[in-house]
Homo-oligomer: A and B are copies of this chain.
Amino acid sequence: MTVRQDIHNSDIPVLCQACEARHHGVCGALDPNKLVALAKTSSRRQVDAGTELIGDAEAIHSYANVLSGVVKLTKTLSDGRQQIVGLQFAPDFFGRPFRAESAINAEAATRVSLCSFPKAALERIMKESPGLQGRLLGQTLKDLDAAREWMVTLGRKTAAEKIASFLLLIARNIDRVSDPNMRTAAFDLPLTRNDIADFLGLTIETVSRQLTKLRADGVIRIENNRHVVVVDISRLEARAGS
Chain A residues engaging chain B, CB cutoff 8 angstroms:
73, 75, 77-79, 81-83, 85-86, 96-99, 101-102, 104, 127, 130, 133-134, 136-138, 140-141, 143-145, 147-152, 154-157, 200-201, 241-242
Contacts and interface: CB of A to CB of B under 8 A. Distances in A.
A155 B150 CA distance: 10
A156 B102 CA distance: 17
Nearest to A142: B101
B149 A150 contact: no
Contact of A148 (B86, B152, B157): B86
25 contacts: A73-B148, A77-B241, A81-B156, A81-B157, A82-B156, A83-B156, A85-B148, A86-B148, A96-B141, A98-B137, A98-B141, A99-B141, A101-B145, A102-B148, A102-B149, A104-B148, A133-B133, A137-B140, A140-B144, A144-B147, A150-B151, A151-B151, A151-B154, A154-B154, A156-B201
A141 B140 contact: yes
Given A78-B242, A154-B201, 13 more contacts: A73-B148, A77-B156, A77-B242, A83-B156, A85-B151, A98-B141, A99-B141, A104-B148, A130-B133, A136-B137, A137-B137, A144-B144, A147-B151
Contacts of A138: 98
A201 to B, nearest CB: 3
A201 B156 CA distance: 6
Nearest to A86: B148
Given A101-B145, A130-B130, A242-B77, A85 B137 contact: no
A127, A145, A150 — which one has the most chain B CB atoms within 10 A of its CB?
A145
Task: Kindly list the 7 A-B residue pairs having the minimum CB-CB distance in the complex, ordered from nearest.
Answer: A155-B201, A85-B148, A147-B147, A154-B154, A102-B145, A83-B152, A81-B156
Contacts of A98: 137-138, 141
Given A144-B140, A144-B144, A83 B151 contact: yes
Nearest to A134: B133
A148 B148 contact: no
A79 to B, nearest CB: 7
Nearest to A137: B137
